[in-house]
């Protein structure tokens, strides 16, 4: 499968980094442990957006919608006692040690349904229209979370008491939950990696590069984009479930425009179409947020300034994200042997 | 579902039209900027909110007890910073100048907090504790509008000249930079004026309701409609009938030829951006007495502006008029008929129109 030697080395490096992360994290303090877990959760979100932005070339500014749907679904099925049948089903699954599977299946089905519906509305739009319509749809989800207080508790948010156990293994303390997150993260990374290397993923790159040509070759552009949109939505839903389980609290500010924009920025910062780049972006943004929030409470102001400075510098020096920076230093002047065309 | 009487329908239509008026002021700027420069300005609604706060502070200065001093200090600080930058870049490279200024800033911040227990940062962003003002008159409101519009337009020009122009036609970069400015404007407003929900007062002749045939119609809503109609007419005549408008259209259609015959397209683009910010700011000041002014208003109203331009099509004035009327009616009637579903009621027609015509009814693609 990994015919390319450089590719094999890259995969090994990435795996080595995550093994090292798994070894080092138990020795860190509690603050750092939860920071690493948070980075992984947002890493899943950013990677899922990379499927759309980097590989398919669709800039979605509403990716927090599926994240939000899944995280709210998780919180609701775990706490809503007056919805007897969902709550009873959850209790039953939890007593068997399968509570997490129940949550994942249920929340991902809901997220998939929303992604399928929203994708159906949005995929026809092109360019900036796509951006605007995804943003608007994400604001609909935010509006539901904020206004439909019978279900979502409105502005107060939903407090989740405790995590369900995994086959009787308690995930309550930081370390077991970190390993669980790492496992989920690696599964997602592996699945997405296989996805982008599959013929389907290659077709998406083809659509990003030259849509008309792919159409001429007989590919169904709409269907490919639509499926990519849904798959990205599902992975975003995984991140949403993990977020509720991690934070044990979900409220409307978690899923507003700033989250979608942050995810977009993580991708742009790390390097689009690299999968691992967005994780680096997530690490940078989340660490900055945690450390800056200690000193000043004006995080959005600083975030805005970081956006502007990084994007301006990146564009002025012609660098595509941090991974782009690497490759720029690696190959100082690769002479192009064949003319473009 | 409730049934509506005829009188209810009339009042709702009046409300819808006034809501559409504010939406038009907001969305026409968005549409104009896109039509000319192909930029989706996500900071657009932030100008709307920012102008509302500016008007609020201006009312406080005229009718309240607020002093102008913090603003003068702020202006002087920013001006000094600007001249320091100009002076430094004469002698050293810009990146070294930026580093030097950053270091100087950190040193001053530490010095100020150690010696005078004062945040150096507050010279540039002072806290101004505003409060609702009871008394407001029409000339005061007009003056507030002029001041807020000028400042917002200057901000727009600044963003265009020093940031967006350098980016070229890179949609993702434009989106991230404008959203960065949206965050800065939003959070800066929250820092400066606090998180309270303010309602701008309506000036004297407008704060009553006219009673027409047994229906009570608030006059301020009529005023909003009048403003929107005047602005729409001015925009239409300005673009279609004047020499300036012809220059603008030429710069849009074929920038290279326009430059070839001596049109300075850079100035055209900058003024377009200023006009867009100005339109949003008009909406913000006029709408501040209607929506109120509070943090988060900008991102709440942005989807409505997007719905308008998606329905009407980006870059078309007629589309903005039609789109805002459609959205205004759907929003008001939707809220009255199905209160929980009003958000969905708004986006359903948007989806249908996109399914039929992906660039909106009058869109240019």
pLDDT exceeds cutoff 70 at A340: no
Q: Nearest Cα to B307, choosing from B337, B273, B365, B352? A: B352
Encoded tokens for B198: 């303010």
Q: What per-residue confidence (pLDDT) applies to B341?
A: 67
- CA distance linking residue B250 with residue B240, whole number of Å: 11
A151 and chain B in contact, CB less than 8 A: no
pLDDT exceeds cutoff 90 at A243: yes
Residue A203, classed as helix, strand or coil, is helix
Nearest residue of chain A to residue B358 (CA atoms): A125
Show residues of chain B in contact with A298, CB under 8 Å.
Answer: 187, 191
Contact indicator for B210, B219 with CB cutoff of 8 Å: yes
- CA distance linking residue B4 with residue B292, whole number of Å: 27
The residue written with tokens 């909003």 in the block is B224
How confident is the prediction for chain B on average, in pLDDT? 84
Interface test with chain B among A311, A318, A319, A324, by most B beta carbons within 10 Å: A311
Which residues lie below 8 Å from residue B252, measured CB to CB, with a gap of 6+?
B35, B36
CA distance B64 to chain A (A): 28
Q: Where are the domains of chain B?
A: 6-67+129-356, 70-123
The residue written with tokens 């400075």 in the block is A309
Mean pLDDT value of segment B52-79 = 85
Max mean pLDDT range (A210-219, A220-229, A286-295, B250-259): A220-229
Instruction: Determine, for residues A298 and B167 on separate chains, whether the beta-carbon distance falls below 8 Å.
Output: no
- Per residue in B215-267, pLDDT (tens digit) is 777 888 888 999 999 999 999 998 888 888 888 888 877 888 888 888 888 88
Confidence grade of residue A263 (pLDDT, cut at 50, 70, 90): very high
Q: Could you tell me whether strands B215-218 and A249-250 are parallel, antiparallel, or unpaired per DSSP bridges?
A: unpaired
- CA distance linking residue B266 with residue A157, whole number of Å: 48
Q: What is the ipTM of this complex?
A: 0.82
Low-confidence winner among A170-179, A331-340, B124-133, B343-352 (lowest mean pLDDT): A331-340
Which residues on adjacent β-strands are paired with residue B216? B211
Identify which of B179, B183, B354 has the shortest CB distance to residue A301.
B183
Instruction: Determine, for residues B183 and A306 on separate chains, whether the beta-carbon distance falls below 8 Å.
Output: no
pLDDT exceeds cutoff 60 at B130: yes
Which carries the bigger pLDDT value, residue A239 or residue A297? A239
- Per residue in B149-189, pLDDT (tens digit) is 899 999 999 888 888 888 877 788 888 899 999 999 988 88
Q: What is the distance of C-alpha A77 from the center of its chain? A: 22
Contact indicator for A226, A51 with CB cutoff of 8 Å: no
Residue B326, classed as helix, strand or coil, is helix
Q: Nearest Cα to B24, choosing from B328, B271, B298, B269? A: B328
A183 and chain B in contact, CB less than 8 A: no
Low-confidence winner among A177-191, A295-309, B132-146, B279-293 (lowest mean pLDDT): B132-146
Helices B44-63 and B138-159, axial angle in degrees (round to 10): 140
Instruction: Determine, for residues A133 and B350 on separate chains, whether the beta-carbon distance falls below 8 Å.
Output: yes
pLDDT exceeds cutoff 50 at A166: yes
pLDDT exceeds cutoff 70 at A339: no
The three-point CA angle A289-A290-A291 to 5° equals 95
Q: Name the interface residues of B facing A (CB cutoff 8 Å).
A: 34, 38, 40, 42, 163, 166-168, 170-173, 175-177, 179-184, 186-188, 191, 299-300, 302-303, 306-307, 309-310, 314, 340, 343-344, 347, 350-351, 354-355, 358-360
Q: What per-residue confidence (pLDDT) applies to B319?
A: 87
- CA distance linking residue A265 with residue A321, whole number of Å: 10
Mean pLDDT value of segment B129-152 = 82
pLDDT exceeds cutoff 80 at A168: no
pLDDT exceeds cutoff 50 at A336: no
Do the domain assignments include residue A145? yes
What's the predicted TM-score (pTM) here?
A: 0.86
A319 and chain B in contact, CB less than 8 A: no
Q: Nearest Cα to A256, choosing from A65, A108, A110, A44? A: A65
Encoded tokens for B38: 């192909």
Instruction: Determine, for residues B354 and A133 on separate chains, whether the beta-carbon distance falls below 8 Å.
Output: yes
The residue written with tokens 């205004």 in the block is B328
Phi, psi of B275 (to 5 degrees): -65, -40
Confidence grade of residue A191 (pLDDT, cut at 50, 70, 90): very high
Contact indicator for A123, A219 with CB cutoff of 8 Å: no
Continuous H helices in chain B:
6-37, 44-63, 69-91, 94-111, 121-124, 138-159, 165-167, 171-193, 219-241, 243-253, 255-260, 265-288, 297-312, 317-337, 342-356
- CA distance linking residue A9 with residue A5, whole number of Å: 6
Mean pLDDT value of segment B314-327 = 87
Identify which of B166, B179, B184 has the shortest CB distance to residue A301.
B184
- Per residue in B13-29, pLDDT (tens digit) is 988 999 999 999 999 99
3-state SS, one letter per residue, for A40-102: HHHHHHHHHHHHHHHHHCCCCCCCHHHHHHHHHHHHHHHHCCCCHHHHHHHHHHHHCCCHHHH
CA distance A112 to chain B (A): 19
Q: Could you tell me whether strands A158-159 and B215-218 are parallel, antiparallel, or unpaired per DSSP bridges?
A: unpaired
Show residues of chain B in contact with A303, CB under 8 Å.
Answer: 180, 183
Identify which of B181, B350, B360 has the shortest CB distance to residue A304.
B181
How many domains does one find in chain A? 1
Which residues on adjacent β-strands are paired with residue B205? none
Q: What per-residue confidence (pLDDT) applies to B342?
A: 66
- CA distance linking residue A23 with residue A12, whole number of Å: 16
Do the domain assignments include residue A2? no
A289 and chain B in contact, CB less than 8 A: no
Nearest residue of chain B to residue A266 (CA atoms): B176
- CA distance linking residue A90 with residue A81, whole number of Å: 10
pLDDT exceeds cutoff 60 at A30: yes
CA distance A141 to chain B (A): 9
Identify which of B181, B186, B191 has the shortest CB distance to residue A308.
B181
Mean pLDDT value of segment B53-74 = 84
Domain ranges, residue A63:
33-255
How confident is the prediction for chain A on average, in pLDDT? 85
Q: What is the distance of C-alpha A224 from the center of its chain? A: 20
Nearest residue of chain A to residue B353 (CA atoms): A121
Show residues of chain B in contact with A308, CB under 8 Å.
Answer: 163, 177, 180-181, 184
Which residues lie below 8 Å from residue B293, measured CB to CB, with a gap of 6+?
B49, B52, B53, B56, B197, B198, B199, B200, B284
pLDDT exceeds cutoff 80 at B285: yes
Q: What per-residue confidence (pLDDT) applies to A337?
A: 44
Show residues of chain B in contact with A278, CB under 8 Å.
Answer: none
- CA distance linking residue A335 with residue A331, whole number of Å: 10
Nearest residue of chain B to residue A307 (CA atoms): B180
* CATH number given to B6-67+129-356: 1.10.3470
Q: What per-residue confidence (pLDDT) applies to A45?
A: 95
Instruction: Determine, for residues B343 and A315 on separate chains, whether the beta-carbon distance falls below 8 Å.
Output: no
Confidence grade of residue A333 (pLDDT, cut at 50, 70, 90): very low
Percent with pLDDT over 70 in chain A: 94
- Per residue in A128-144, pLDDT (tens digit) is 888 888 888 888 888 88
Identify which of B38, B183, B350 has the shortest CB distance to residue A300.
B183
Do the domain assignments include residue A23? no
Show residues of chain B in contact with A141, CB under 8 Å.
Answer: none
Q: Nearest Cα to B177, choosing from A265, A57, A58? A: A265
- CA distance linking residue A251 with residue B67, whole number of Å: 39
CA distance B247 to chain A (A): 26
Q: What per-residue confidence (pLDDT) applies to A334?
A: 45
Show residues of chain B in contact with A132, CB under 8 Å.
Answer: 40, 306, 309-310
Q: Nearest Cα to A75, choosing from A256, A239, A250, A252? A: A250
Q: Nearest Cα to A78, choosing from A241, A310, A315? A: A241
- CA distance linking residue B315 with residue B32, whole number of Å: 5
pLDDT exceeds cutoff 70 at A119: yes
The residue written with tokens 């807020």 in the block is B148
Q: What per-residue confidence (pLDDT) applies to A330?
A: 60
Encoded tokens for A311: 């994007």
Instruction: Determine, for residues A128 and B171 on separate chains, whether the beta-carbon distance falls below 8 Å.
Output: yes
Confidence grade of residue A65 (pLDDT, cut at 50, 70, 90): very high
Show residues of chain A in contact with B302, CB under 8 Å.
Answer: 135, 139, 257
- Give the DSSP letter of residue B115: I
Which residues lie below 8 Å from residue A115, measured CB to CB, with a gap of 6+?
A66, A229, A230, A232, A233, A234, A236, A237
Confidence grade of residue B197 (pLDDT, cut at 50, 70, 90): confident
Do the domain assignments include residue A268? no
- What is the number of other CB atoms lying within 10 angstroms of the CB of residue B261? 9
Q: What per-residue confidence (pLDDT) applies to A232?
A: 95
Show residues of chain B in contact with A304, CB under 8 Å.
Answer: 179-184, 187
Instruction: Determine, for residues A127 and B355 on separate chains, whether the beta-carbon distance falls below 8 Å.
Output: no
- What is the number of other CB atoms lying within 10 angstroms of the CB of residue B48? 32
Q: What is the distance of C-alpha B135 from the center of its chain? A: 25
């Amino acid at each position: 499968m990994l015919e390319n030697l450089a590719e094999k080395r890259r995969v090994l490096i990435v795996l080595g980094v995550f093994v090292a992360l798994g070894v080092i994290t138990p020795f860190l303090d509690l603050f750092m442990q939860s920071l690493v877990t948070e980075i992984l959760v947002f890493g899943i979100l950013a990677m899922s957006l990379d499927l759309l932005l980097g590989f398919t070339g669709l800039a979605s500014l509403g990716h927090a919608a599926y994240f939000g749907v899944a995280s709210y679904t998780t919180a609701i099925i775990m706490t809503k006692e007056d919805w007897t049948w969902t709550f009873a089903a959850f209790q039953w699954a939890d007593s068997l040690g399968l509570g997490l599977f129940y949550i994942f299946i249920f929340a991902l089905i809901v997220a998939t349904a929303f992604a399928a519906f929203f994708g159906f509305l949005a995929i026809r739009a092109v360019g900036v229209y796509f951006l605007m319509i995804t943003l608007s749809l994400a604001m609909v989800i935010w509006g539901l979370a904020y206004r439909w207080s019978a279900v979502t508790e409105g502005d107060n948010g939903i407090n989740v008491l405790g995590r369900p156990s995994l086959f009787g293994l308690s995930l309550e303390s930081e370390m077991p939950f970190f390993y669980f997150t790492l496992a989920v993260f690696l599964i997602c990374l592996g699945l997405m990696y296989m996805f982008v290397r599959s013929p389907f993923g290659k077709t998406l790159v083809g659509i990003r590069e030259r849509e008309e040509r792919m159409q001429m070759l007989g590919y169904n552009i709409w269907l490919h984009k639509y499926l990519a949109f849904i798959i990205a939505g599902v992975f975003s839903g995984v991140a949403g479930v993990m977020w509720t389980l991690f934070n044990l609290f979900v409220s409307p500010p978690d899923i507003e425009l700033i989250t979608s924009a942050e995810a977009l920025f993580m991708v742009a910062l790390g390097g689009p179409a690299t999968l691992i780049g967005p994780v680096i972006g997530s690490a940078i943004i989340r660490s900055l947020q945690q450390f800056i929030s200690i000193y000043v409470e004006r995080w959005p102001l600083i975030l805005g300034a970081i956006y502007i400075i990084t994007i301006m510098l990146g564009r002025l020096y012609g660098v595509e994200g941090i991974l782009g920076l690497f490759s720029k230093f690696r190959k100082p002047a690769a002479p192009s042997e064949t003319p473009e065309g | 579902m409730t049934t509506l009487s005829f009188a209810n329908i009339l009042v709702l239509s009046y409300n819808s039209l006034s809501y559409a008026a504010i939406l038009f002021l907001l969305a026409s700027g968005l549409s104009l900027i896109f039509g000319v420069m192909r930029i989706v300005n996500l900071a657009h609604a932030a100008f709307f909110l920012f102008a509302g706060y500016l008007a609020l502070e201006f009312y406080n200065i005229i009718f309240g007890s607020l002093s102008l001093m913090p603003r003068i200090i702020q202006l002087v600080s920013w001006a000094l910073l600007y001249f320091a930058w100009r002076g430094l870049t004469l002698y050293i490279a810009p990146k070294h100048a930026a580093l030097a200024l950053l270091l100087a800033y950190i040193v001053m911040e530490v010095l100020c907090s150690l010696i005078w227990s004062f945040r150096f940062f507050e010279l540039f962003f002072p806290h101004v504790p505003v409060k609702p003002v009871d008394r407001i008159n029409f000339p005061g409101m007009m003056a507030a509008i002029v001041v807020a519009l000028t400042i917002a337009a200057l901000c727009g020009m600044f963003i265009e000249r020093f940031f967006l122009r350098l980016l070229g036609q890179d949609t993702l970069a434009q989106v991230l930079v404008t959203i960065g400015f949206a965050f800065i404007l939003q959070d800066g407003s929250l820092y400066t004026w606090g998180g309270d929900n303010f309602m701008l007062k309506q000036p004297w002749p407008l704060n009553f309701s006219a009673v027409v045939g047994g229906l009570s119609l608030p006059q301020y809503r009529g005023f909003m409609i009048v403003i929107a109609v005047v602005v729409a007419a001015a925009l239409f005549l300005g673009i279609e009938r004047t020499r300036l408008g012809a220059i603008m259209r030429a710069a849009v259609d074929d920038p290279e030829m326009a430059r070839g015959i001596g049109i300075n397209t850079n100035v055209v683009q900058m003024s377009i951006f200023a006009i867009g910010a100005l339109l949003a700011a008009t909406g913000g000041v006029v709408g501040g007495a209607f929506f109120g002014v509070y943090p988060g208003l900008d991102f709440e109203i942005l989807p409505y502006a997007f719905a308008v331009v998606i329905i009407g099509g980006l870059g078309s004035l007629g589309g903005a008029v039609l789109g805002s009327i459609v959205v205004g009616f759907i929003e008001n009637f939707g809220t009255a008929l199905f209160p929980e579903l009003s958000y969905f009621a708004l986006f359903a027609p948007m989806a249908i129109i996109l399914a039929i015509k992906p660039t909106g009814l009058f869109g240019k693609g």
